[in-house]
Structure 1
Amino acid sequence: MAFELLSCYHVLMIYAQIAVFTYTKNNNDLFTYGVPPELRSNIKVGQIVTVFFNKRKLKGLVIKITNEKPAFSTKDIQTIVEENPIPAHLIKIIFFLQTNCVSSLRQSLGTVIPFNSFSKNRQAKETKEKEIKKTDFHKLNPEQQYAFNEIKKSITEDLSKTFLLMGITGSGKTEVYLRAIEEVLNRGKQVIVLVPEISLTPQTYSVFESRFPGKIAVWHSKLKETEKFKTWQKIHNNEKPIVIGSRSAIFAPLKNLGLIVIDEEQENSFKQDQTPRYQTRTIALEIQKILGSAVILGSATPSLESYYYAKNDNFKMLNLTKRATKSLLPQTTIVDLRDEFKKGNKSIFSEILTRKIRETLAKKEQIVLFLNRRGASTFVLCRDCGFVFMCPNCDIPYIYHLLTNKLICHHCSAEANPPTTCPNCKGPYIKFFGTGTQKVENELNKLFPSARILRMDKDSTKKRDSHEKIYSSFKNHETDILIGTQMIAKGWDIENVSLVGIISADSTLFVPDFRAEERTFQLITQVSGRAGRGIDKPGRVVIQTYNPDNKAIKYAAKNLTRDFYDEELLIRKDHNYPPFVNLVKILYNNIVQKDALLAATKDKRLLETKFNVLGPIPSFIPKINNSYRYLLVLKLKESELNDFLGDYSHRVEGSIDIDPQNILL
C-alpha cells in the first residue's frame, strides 16, 4: 500500500522549465523547478512566476511543463505572479530574438516582457482618459478605396499579406489605416499601430481615439513603471484591442492580433540599437508568419529595402499619388548658399527664406524650420593654432549649448565650460563654428522679436509631457514658428503651415554611410510635406544647400520619388549593398586600443575562411566614453547569413548587429 501511494506521488509530480530573468553563466539556460501541489492545477506555459535562484527571489517565464523527473534535485516555484499566460507567439519571438539578433535569453526575455514593471501589489494611479469627440469616417477617394479594398480582402480571407502603402505626404494613409482597423475589430481581432517617434504618439492617439473611443492603449518608453504595469495588464486582459506606440509596442501581449501597422516604416528609430538589435519590420513579419496577421508598411518615402521587395512582389504595393484634401504639393525653391556667401550674406537664413518668413508671419500663417542638429555650435576652435575643443572621453568635438552656456558631448554627456583662451597656445581668439537648433532660435528671436517661437529637439523634450505641449501649442496657433530636428519631419498635419525652411540640406548628406543620400531624400521629402496641407493655403518650401546638384536634393525638390529609388537601387546593386546582400556589423570595444584591434583581428581570421569580411577598421567615431572601437563588416547572401547565425555568431568576441542602420558608427 505504501509503495502504491509513493508511486502515485511520483506520477503527480510536475516540473517546469523556467527562463529566469537574470544573468547566468552563459545567459542561455532554462532552469527546471518543481511545481508544488498548491500550484499544479493552475500552472501554465507562458505564466510569469517567482523562483529562488542563487538565494535571490527572481521572476521568470514558464517555457515548458513536463512530468519527466530530472536527474538532479529541484527547488519549487514560489508564486504565480501573472495567472494569465502571455500569448504563445511572444514566447516564439523571445527565441527568435535570441537566435536571429544574437542575444542572450535574458536580454530577449527582458525585451519582450517588462519584468521591471511587475511587483507584488504594485498599484498605478488611475489616470482619467481624455475625452475626445468621436468623429465619423471620411469618404475615401478612388486611390484610397482601392488600397482599402485590397487590404480588406486580405483581412476577411485571412491571406496574411504584407502591404507597402506608398503615398505622398498628405495623401490620406491614416484614413486607410483607420478603415483597415475597423475591419479587423469587426472580426473580433486586435491591432498594433507603430509610430517612429514618441512625439507622434499624442496626435496619433487623438486621431485614433476619436474613431475608436475607449479602445486604445498607448505604449512607449517614457511611461512610468507603474503606468507600464497598468497598461500592460489592460492589453493582456483584452481590455484594449488597439495598441499605439513606438518600437517596443510590437511586443504588446495581444492574443488575437489581426493587423500590424508600421507608419513611417523607413525610420531609423524602428531599429533597436542595443542588444537585441532587432529591426521592427522583421519582428512584424515574423509575427505574421506565426499568426497570419496582415501587415501594412506606410510611408511617402519607404526604406529602399521595402520598395525593392514590393517591386519584386514580396510585398503588395499600394500607391496614393494625390493629396486627400485636394491641396497641391508645395512649390520648392533650392537656394545655393555659395551664392549667398558671394553676395555677402553670412546669416543662417538666405535672403529668400528671410523674406518668406516675414510674408508668412504677416498672413498669420505658420512656419516650420528644420535642422537636424541640436545645440548652438557644432565645434569650438582656436583661430590662432587651430586647436579644436574635444571631449576627453570621445574622439569628437564638444557641441556648444547656448541656453546652458556649456560644451556638451552628445555621446557620453561630458560637460565643460566654454573657453576664453586656448589651452594649447593661450591665444584669445576662440571661434564658435557651425549651427544647431539653439542658434537658429537665437537668430530668429533677433530678426522677428514679436514672433512666437518654439524649439523641438532632444534638449527641449526631456520632460515626459513636453512633446504633447509643443504639439498642442503649435496646432492651436499659440506658436508662429516651430524649429526642430527630425522629430518634426513627419506626422504633423497642421493646415495653417504654409512655409517650410530647410536650414541645411547637407547636414545628413556627407556622412560615411551608403544610406546617406537615401536618408537625405527621405528627410527633405517628409519635412517638405508639412507645408500646404490647407486647401486655401498654398505651401512653399525653401531648401538651403551648398550642393544644389546632388541627386537626393534635386529629386526631393521635384517629388521624383520613384526616379530616385530606381537610380539608387542600381547603385546599390553595383556596389553589392542591401537589399542585394545582408550586412553584419561586429563592433569591438576596449579601453585598451590594441586589445580592441587584437580581438577584431582574431575574429577576422576565424570568419574570412568562410565569408567576405571587411576590416578591421576604426569606427567613424574611434573612441566613445574612453572605449576604443573597431569594426568588422560582413556582406552575406541569405544562405551565408544562416550559416553565420548557426555556426559562427556565438564564437566571435564583438557585439553583432544584423542589418545595421549605420555601418561605421
Structure 2
Amino acid sequence: MSAAKAISGNLFDDDPAFQVTGETISVLPPLPLAGPYDYLVPEGLNVQPGDFVEIPLGRQTQRGVVWGKAKGDVDPAKLREIYGVLQVPPMAEVTRKFIDWVSAYTMSPQGAVLRMAMSVPDALEPPKPVFRFTLAQPNGESTDPGIRMTPPRKRVMAFLRDHPPMEQADIMRETGAGASVIKGLVEVGIVRRLMVAPPSPFNPPDLDIPRPHLSEAQEHAANELCRKVADDGFSVTLLDGVTGSGKTEVYFEAIRIALETGKQVVVLLPEIALSAQWLQRFRDRFGVEPALWHSEVGQARRRETWRAVADGSARLVVGARSGLFLPYANLGLIVVDEEHEHAFKQEDGVIYHARDMAVARGHIGAIPVILASATPSLETLANVEAGRYGTVELSERHGVAVLPSVEIVDIRQDRPERQRWITPTLKKRLAETFAAGEQAMLFLNRRGYAPLTLCRTCGHRFQCPNCTAWLVEHRAWGKLQCHHCGYTAKTPDTCPACGAEEKLSACGPGVERLYEEAVETFPQLRIEVATSDNIAGPKAAAALIDRVHNHEVDLLIGTQILAKGYHFPMLTLVGVVDADLGLAGGDLRAAERSYQLMTQVAGRAGRGDRPGTVLLQTADPSNRVIKAIAAGDRDAFNEVELSQRLTHGMPPHGRLAALIISGKKENEVDEAAWRIGRAAPRGDGIMVLGPAPAPLSLLRGRYRRRFLIRTDKQVRLQAMIHDWLAKVKTPSSVRVQIDIDPYSFM
C-alpha cells in the first residue's frame, strides 16, 4: 500500500501551540504503554508542546515529551505534577505527528515509536560547558601595581589582545604558559573566564565546490529533482537508473539545493556501516563529513549527533533506517538510496519499512522524497504507474562504461568436479581475466563454510537448540553457528548421536568453502572473502575497498554485501556461483528479490573503461528470473511478476498483514493461536490463512505460529485487525506481533 495514500485522511487533529502554567497536559513516555498520561504543570512553570520533561511514573522518574492538552479522563485532583523541563530543543510538531502516524499504521504503541526518536537518553542531559578566556579590559592592563607581571603572564596577555576568547588548551599551546599562569591571571582580575555553548561537531557543507561534469541525461535528471526540492512541497520521485549510471551524483544536486535553503537532509542507505565509497563521494562533493547514524557509531558521538539534529546544526544525516526517526529541527529532503533493499524493513520491536515511512514523513512534513534504485521494488513501480510518484530515468552508464554482457552457464551440462562449485567455463574465464591483469568477483549468498553438517554413519544433523535452523559450519573459526540467534558450539571431532569418528560431512558450499577451492585452483592469486562476519564496520569496509582499488586483491569472494553499489574500475568478471539460490520456497517476493540481488551483483562488472562479463551458474536456465537477467529485460520480468500478483490479489494489488504468536511454552502458544483463529474475521475481500507453524517454528527459544491476512486494498486493514484481536484474551506469557506489509515469511 502506498504510504502517501494511507495518510490522505489525517489520523490526528492539528493541536495549535500553547503555553500553560498551573494547567494539565498530556505527556508521552518512551515506553510501550497505551499512550500519553495526564499531568499537572506546577505554578510558575511554562510548558509547550514538544518539550522534553521529567515526570513521576509509578515509583520511578521517567522522561517524556509533552504531547498536547490533557485528555481529561482522570480527575485533576488525582494527577501528579511534572518535575521540570529539560534543556533540549522541543520536539517539532511534524515529528510528533509522524510518531502518531507510524504508531497507527504499524499498530504499535505510541511510546514504542517515540523510543526510536529518543534512542539516546544521555542526549537529554545538558552538554558539558566549554570555558574560554579573554582579557577583562580591552588593553589588558591592571591598575594594581602589586600584581607581578612575569614573562609567561605577559605572553598570555599579548596573545589574548590579538585573539577572540580562546580555550585554555589553545592558549597554553600558543604561549607555552602553564594552566597555573592562566588561573593566576583570572584570580587577579586581568583575565575573565567565559562559559560558552559547545561548538557543533559538524562543520557546514561547502556549497561552492565545483560539481563534477554531468552527462546530458544526468543533467536532465538533476534539474528535475532540483525543481521538486525548490517547489518546497511534498512529492515522491523515483530516480530509476541502471547500475553505474551516476545516480548518487544526480541526487547530490538536489541535496545541494536543499542545503542552500537552510534545510536539513537525511539520506538512508541500506548498509551505512559498509558505505565507505559513498562517504568519500560526499566528502569530495561537499568538503565535510556528514553526520553518521548507525549501530557502529559510538555512544558519545550518537549523543552529539542527536543534539545537533535537534538544534539544526547537523545539516546532513546519513544513516540506516533508524535515522528517519531523529528529531529534525528543519528537515527539507529525504533520500532513500537502494529503495528496494530488504534491509530497510525492521522485523523486531516496531515493525516497519523505512521506505514507506520515509514517504509518510515527507507527506506529513510537506517535503520532497527521492527513491533511488537500479531495480525498483514492484510497490514503487506500481505507485509510478498510478501517478502517485514521479520518475526520472538514467538508462545508460556514465562516461565510457557500458553494461556488462550476461551469460548463462548450465551446470547440468558444464559440471564442476566432484565437491567443487566452479564450472570449467567459469574457471577458464577467471584464468583469462587474471592473465589480462584484471580483477574478478565470485558471488555466493551463503556465509560460512557449509550450511549443513551431518554424520555419514547415522545421518545426525547439527541443529540449533534455540531455533528451527541448521548450524552453519565456520571452519576457519572451528565452530558451528546459528545465523538467527547467534548460538555457537565448537565443531566436534565425533558425532554426538552415534560417536562415530571422522564421519562428519559438510554439505553444500559457503563462501569459506568457495575460498578454499579458489586458493587450490589459483594458488598464486591474492584472494579475499567479504561477508558480514569479517567486514563488520566502516573501517574494515574502507580498508577492503582501498585494497581492491589499489589492485592488492585479484579475486573477491563474498555475499550480498558486495552488491551495495561498490565501484571497482578493474573488476571485469562476476561469477554468480549459485544463481538458483533464493528462487525456491513460498516467499511472495523470492523471484523479485533474486532478480534485484543478482542484477545488483552483476552491476559490479565493467564499471570502468574495460567491458564486463557476468556468468550465471544455474541448473534451471529456463527460469524466468535467470532469463530476464541474461536478456537485460527488466520490464518484461516486472510485467509478468505484477500480472501474477494481480491474479492472486497480492501486493501491490492487495494488502498483507501477518500475526506472529510466540511464547516459551508450545502448548500456550497453540492455545492462544487457536483462540485467535476462531475469532478470525470473515467477509468479502478478506482471507485469513492459519494458524500454522512458522517456517522457523522455534526462534531464539520461542515457539512461533503465524497467520497471514490478505485483503483487498479498500479494506481498512488496521481497524479490522484491531477489532479482531480485541475479542480475544491472550496470557501475558504469549506475545502477539503485528506485521503490516510483511517482507519476511519465516
Same fold (TM over 0.5): yes
Q: Is the 8 A contact 2:689 2:709 kept in 1?
A: yes
Q: Residues 648 and 288 of structure 1: is their aligned pair in 2 closer, same or farther, counting only changes over 3 Å?
A: farther
Q: Residues 288 and 657 of structure 1: is their aligned pair in 2 closer, same or farther, counting only changes over 3 Å?
A: same
Q: In the alignment, which residue of structure 2 is the partner of 1:553?
A: 626
**Aligned partner letter, 2:640:** E
SS at match of 1:184: helix
> CA shift at 1:49, angstroms?
2.0
Q: In the alignment, which residue of structure 2 is the partner of 1:56?
A: 60
Structure 1 segment 82-161 matched on structure 2, within 5 A:
82-118=87-123, 120=125, 136-161=210-235
Q: Is the 8 A contact 1:272 1:279 kept in 2?
A: yes
The answer on 1:592 being equivalent to 2:665 is yes
**Which 10-residue stretch deviates more, 362-371 or 559-568?**
362-371
Structure 1 segment 462-501 matched on structure 2, within 5 A:
462=536, 465-501=539-575
The answer on 1:34 being equivalent to 2:40 is yes
The CA deviation string for residues 288-326 of structure 1, in whole angstroms up to 9 with x for no partner, is 221211111111101111111112222112221111123
698, 715, 719: which is aligned to 1:643? 719
The answer on 1:191 being equivalent to 2:265 is yes
300, 311, 321: which is aligned to 2:374? 300
Q: Is the 8 A contact 1:59 1:115 kept in 2?
A: no
* Inter-partner Cα distance in structure 1 for 2:468 and 2:539: 34
* Inter-partner Cα distance in structure 2 for 1:66 and 1:414: 48
**Aligned partner letter, 2:743:** Q
Q: Is the 8 A contact 1:377 1:436 kept in 2?
A: yes
699, 705, 713: which is aligned to 1:630? 705
TM-score (norm 2): 0.82
42, 46, 50: which is aligned to 1:46? 50
The answer on 1:268 being equivalent to 2:350 is no
The answer on 1:81 being equivalent to 2:81 is no
Q: In the alignment, which residue of structure 2 is the partner of 1:320?
A: 394
Q: Is the 8 A contact 2:272 2:318 kept in 1?
A: no
Q: In the alignment, which residue of structure 2 is the partner of 1:540?
A: 613
Q: Residues 108 and 521 of structure 1: is their aligned pair in 2 closer, same or farther, counting only changes over 3 Å?
A: same
**Aligned partner letter, 1:54:** G
Q: In the alignment, which residue of structure 1 is the partner of 2:429?
A: 356
TM-score (norm 1): 0.91
Which structure has the bigger radius of gyration? Answer: 2
Q: Is the 8 A contact 2:268 2:336 kept in 1?
A: yes
The answer on 1:457 being equivalent to 2:461 is no
> CA shift at 1:651, angstroms?
5.4
* Inter-partner Cα distance in structure 1 for 2:207 and 2:229: 28
* Inter-partner Cα distance in structure 2 for 1:563 and 1:486: 24
**Aligned partner letter, 2:333:** L
> CA shift at 1:659, angstroms?
0.6
Q: Is the 8 A contact 2:22 2:45 kept in 1?
A: no
**Aligned partner letter, 1:313:** G
* Inter-partner Cα distance in structure 2 for 1:276 and 1:643: 18
* Inter-partner Cα distance in structure 1 for 2:653 and 2:343: 23
> CA shift at 1:119, angstroms?
5.5
Q: In the alignment, which residue of structure 1 is the partner of 2:687?
A: 612
> CA shift at 1:170, angstroms?
0.7
> CA shift at 1:375, angstroms?
0.8
> CA shift at 1:88, angstroms?
1.5
Q: In the alignment, which residue of structure 1 is the partner of 2:136?
A: none
Q: Residues 89 and 434 of structure 1: is their aligned pair in 2 closer, same or farther, counting only changes over 3 Å?
A: same
Q: In the alignment, which residue of structure 2 is the partner of 1:657?
A: 739
**Aligned partner letter, 1:114:** S
**Aligned partner letter, 2:298:** K
Structure 1 segment 231-630 matched on structure 2, within 5 A:
231-341=305-415, 344=417, 346-428=419-501, 429-462=503-536, 465-535=539-609, 537-610=610-683, 611-630=686-705
The answer on 1:210 being equivalent to 2:284 is yes
> CA shift at 1:52, angstroms?
2.4
Q: Residues 157 and 413 of structure 1: is their aligned pair in 2 closer, same or farther, counting only changes over 3 Å?
A: closer
Q: Is the 8 A contact 1:21 1:110 kept in 2?
A: yes
* Inter-partner Cα distance in structure 1 for 2:494 and 2:117: 51
* Inter-partner Cα distance in structure 2 for 1:473 and 1:418: 32
SS at match of 1:325: coil
* Inter-partner Cα distance in structure 2 for 1:104 and 1:211: 41
SS at match of 1:483: strand
* Inter-partner Cα distance in structure 2 for 1:299 and 1:133: 26
Q: Is the 8 A contact 2:206 2:286 kept in 1?
A: no
> CA shift at 1:243, angstroms?
1.2
**Aligned partner letter, 2:738:** I
> CA shift at 1:645, angstroms?
5.1
* Inter-partner Cα distance in structure 1 for 2:714 and 2:122: 40
> CA shift at 1:436, angstroms?
1.1
SS at match of 1:182: helix
Q: Residues 126 and 385 of structure 1: is their aligned pair in 2 closer, same or farther, counting only changes over 3 Å?
A: farther
* Inter-partner Cα distance in structure 1 for 2:411 and 2:500: 31
> CA shift at 1:523, angstroms?
0.7
* Inter-partner Cα distance in structure 1 for 2:695 and 2:662: 13
SS at match of 1:509: coil
Q: Is the 8 A contact 1:199 1:487 kept in 2?
A: no
**Which 10-residue stretch deviates more, 111-120 or 494-503?**
111-120
* Inter-partner Cα distance in structure 2 for 1:134 and 1:371: 43
> CA shift at 1:470, angstroms?
2.3
Q: In the alignment, which residue of structure 2 is the partner of 1:14?
A: 23
**Which 10-residue stretch deviates more, 451-460 or 164-173?**
451-460
> CA shift at 1:515, angstroms?
0.8
**Which 10-residue stretch deviates more, 619-628 or 556-565?**
619-628
> CA shift at 1:432, angstroms?
0.8
Q: Residues 545 and 523 of structure 1: is their aligned pair in 2 closer, same or farther, counting only changes over 3 Å?
A: same
Task: Report % sequence identity.
Answer: 33
Q: Is the 8 A contact 1:164 1:298 kept in 2?
A: yes
Q: In the alignment, which residue of structure 2 is the partner of 1:5?
A: none
Q: Is the 8 A contact 2:228 2:368 kept in 1?
A: yes
> CA shift at 1:190, angstroms?
2.3
**Aligned partner letter, 2:230:** T
* Inter-partner Cα distance in structure 1 for 2:21 and 2:599: 65
The CA deviation string for residues 563-598 of structure 1, in whole angstroms up to 9 with x for no partner, is 110111111111221111110011111233232222
**Aligned partner letter, 1:623:** L
Q: Is the 8 A contact 1:199 1:468 kept in 2?
A: no
SS at match of 2:412: helix
**Which 10-residue stretch deviates more, 460-469 or 566-575?**
460-469
Q: Residues 457 and 39 of structure 1: is their aligned pair in 2 closer, same or farther, counting only changes over 3 Å?
A: farther
> CA shift at 1:263, angstroms?
0.8
Paired residues, number: 647
Superposed CA RMSD: 2.7
The CA deviation string for residues 350-372 of structure 1, in whole angstroms up to 9 with x for no partner, is 12222222332333322222111
* Inter-partner Cα distance in structure 2 for 1:91 and 1:645: 24
Q: Residues 215 and 70 of structure 1: is their aligned pair in 2 closer, same or farther, counting only changes over 3 Å?
A: farther
The CA deviation string for residues 418-472 of structure 1, in whole angstroms up to 9 with x for no partner, is 2333333444432111111222223223333332222221211335632333233
> CA shift at 1:118, angstroms?
2.9
5+ long unaligned stretches in structure 1: 1-10
Q: Is the 8 A contact 1:134 1:210 kept in 2?
A: no
| Runs of 4+ residues deviating >6 angstroms | 66-69, 122-134
63, 73, 77: which is aligned to 1:72? 77
Q: In the alignment, which residue of structure 2 is the partner of 1:4?
A: none
Q: In the alignment, which residue of structure 2 is the partner of 1:6?
A: none
**Aligned partner letter, 2:377:** S
**Aligned partner letter, 1:571:** Q
> CA shift at 1:401, angstroms?
0.6
**Aligned partner letter, 1:80:** V
* Inter-partner Cα distance in structure 1 for 2:203 and 2:410: 49
